[in-house]
Amino acid sequence: MARVNHDDPYLWLEDVDGERALAWVAERNAETEAELAAGPGFDAFAERLREVLDAVDRIPYTTRRGPYLYNFWQDAEHVRGLWRRTTLEQYRKDAPEWEVLLDVDALAEAEGEKWVWAGARVRRPAHDRALVSLSRDGGDAVVVREFDLADRAFAEDGFTLPEAKTSIGWIDDDTVFVGTDHGPGSLTDAGYPRTVRRWRRGTPLAEAVTLFEGEPTDVSAWAWHDATPGFERDFVGRSLDFFRSETHLLTPDDRLVRIEVPEDAEVYAHRGHLVVTLKSPWLGHPAGSLLAFGFDAFLAGDRTAEALFTPDERTALAGHSWTRHHLILETMRDVSTRIEVLTPREEGGWSRAPLADVPPLSAVGVTDTDPDVSDEYFLDVSGFLQPSTLTRGDIGGDTEVLRQAPARFDASGLAVEQAFATSDDGTRVPYFVIGPDRSADEAPAPGPTLLYGYGGFEVSLTPSYAALTGRGWLETGGTYVIANIRGGGEYGPDWHQAALGARRHKAFEDFAAVARDLVARGITTPARLGAAGGSNGGLLMGAMLTRHPELFGAIVCQVPLLDMVRFHKLLAGASWIAEYGDPDDEADLPHLRELSPYHRLTAGAPYPPVLLTTSTRDDRVHPGHARKAAARLRELGHPVLFHENTGGGHAGATDNAQAARNKALMYTFLRKHLARD
Nearest Cα to Cα of residue 478 among 452, 450, 453, 451: 450
Please give the DSSP secondary-structure letter assigned to residue 325. Answer: S
Q: Which residues, 6+ apart, have CB-to-CB distance to 205 below 8 Å? A: 161, 178, 180, 182, 199
Please give the DSSP secondary-structure letter assigned to residue 631. Answer: H
| DSSP output for 30-62 | HHHIIIIISSTTHHHHHHHHHHHHH-TTS----
User: Rounded distance, CA 252 to CA 106, Å?
Assistant: 43
Amino acid identity, position 452:
Y
User: Rounded distance, CA 470 to CA 478, Å?
Assistant: 9
Is 535 in the active site? Answer: yes
Is 167 in the active site? Answer: no
Phi-psi region of 396 (alpha: psi -120 to 50; beta: other; left: phi over 0): left
Residue 452, classified by CB atoms within 10 Å of its CB into exposed (0-12), middle (13-18) or buried (19+), is buried
Say how far residue 267 (Cα) sits from the centre of its chain. 20
3-state secondary structure 374-408: CCEEEEEEEECCEEEEEEEEECCCCEEEEEECCCC
Residue 504, classified by CB atoms within 10 Å of its CB into exposed (0-12), middle (13-18) or buried (19+), is buried
Select which of 225, 285, 650, 673 is catalytic: 650
Select which of 135, 245, 423, 535 is catalytic: 535
Q: Give the torsion sign (CA, 179, 180, 186, 189).
A: positive
Q: Which residues are catalytic?
A: 535, 650
